[in-house]
Structure 1
């Protein structure tokens, strides 16, 4: 499969690139920092571009089978890059006739807000993560309103450590066993699996240990 990955040098993006190549996919890695991509492979193509540049985005998605969006920004960033970039990606995909879209969001965005414990909703998010959630919420609207074959992936907090391969996904409520943590390798693994699965088509599965 030919895949374009936006945010290819971020925490999740780097893992997506490596895992997709290992799985035999042809990868186009789109990034503003191509020097951060250290590996080279016959099936890896690196594009130095800005996701806010419609022409660059259009070129990156042309003739692809699927697109993965793993855009990220610092917690206190005010630019709203995820939403603005995703809007441009979605428009480019529609024009190019590329349908499969897997987009990284976060647990608590959109209709998963009620899944968060009270200290997240009333302390952590208002103090530290309100801009992140505003960005993700706007981003998700662009995805859900599109005609694409989309899947929005909502992991809980990133955890240090290696992949465990044992985690919860697609839940509608939390219980006391949930740790609200996910190691990035597991997030990347789940996102790549959605390229060939319709189990969560037009849905927004949450992820958590």
Structure 2
């Protein structure tokens, strides 16, 4: 497949590029600073962009099988960036007639498991309060997805870890795995790539966790 990855210098984005290349896909990585991308390969094209203009991005998504995005706030002061940048990506995709889009959101944006215990409910409430602006941004990003003409999937992980790929995790379409507290960025990327052709994830939020 021909894939485009936005946010390719972030933890999940870098893994998306690396794993997609390893799987034999052709990858276009859209980055602000190419020097920060430490992945290389003969099937990799690197495009530099500040993601301010949908028209500028049309060439980066033209003819692609899917677009994958690791865009999002890296801290609370960056809240708002996920919605703004995703809106630009959607604009470019719609202009080129590219439909498949997978993005990273967060577990607390979706529904909590009905059988979560007091500890998990308490942690979820605390994290949601501390990062309320970031999660508000992600909710608005998901609203932009729902209003778009794309075949989107929002992947919602819990706390992210920098650990090796395992390929072993749980997913729940429209919900979240009970007691799912952690997942490696590498496994989030693995899950996103595995969902590209998964029809049951279209226009759905998908919880993913160990």
String of CA shifts for 1:159-181, please: whole Å, max 9, x gaps.
24222322210163654xx2410
The aligned residue for residue 161 of structure 1 is 163
The aligned residue for residue 150 of structure 1 is 152
1:58-207 equivalences in 2 (<5 Å): 58-109=58-109, 111-112=110-111, 117-127=120-130, 129-170=131-172, 172=175, 175=178, 178-207=179-208
Preserved contact between residue 176 and residue 206 of structure 2 (Cα < 8 Å): no
The 3-state SS of whatever aligns with 1:196 is coil
The 3-state SS of whatever aligns with 1:91 is helix
Question: How far apart, in 2, do the equivalents of 1:107 and 1:113 lie?
Answer: 8
Preserved contact between residue 171 and residue 177 of structure 2 (Cα < 8 Å): no
The 3-state SS of whatever aligns with 1:95 is helix
Question: How far apart, in 2, do the equivalents of 1:166 and 1:189 lie?
Answer: 10
The 3-state SS of whatever aligns with 1:38 is coil
Question: How far apart, in 1, do the equivalents of 2:49 and 2:192 lie?
Answer: 23
Matched length: 205
- Which range moved further: 151-160 or 72-81? 72-81
CA RMSD of aligned residues (A): 1.9
Question: How far apart, in 1, do the equivalents of 2:147 and 2:60 lie?
Answer: 22
Does residue 30 of the first structure (1) align with residue 30 of the second (2)? yes
TM-score normalised according to structure 2 size: 0.89
The aligned residue for residue 43 of structure 1 is 43
**Structure 1 outlier segments of 4+, above 3 Å:** 113-118, 171-175
The aligned residue for residue 13 of structure 1 is 13
- Which range moved further: 158-167 or 38-47? 158-167
Report the alpha carbon displacement of residue 89 of structure 1 after superposing the two structures with TM.
Answer: 0.9
Unaligned runs of 5+ in 1: none
Report the alpha carbon displacement of residue 55 of structure 1 after superposing the two structures with TM.
Answer: 2.6
The 3-state SS of whatever aligns with 1:125 is helix
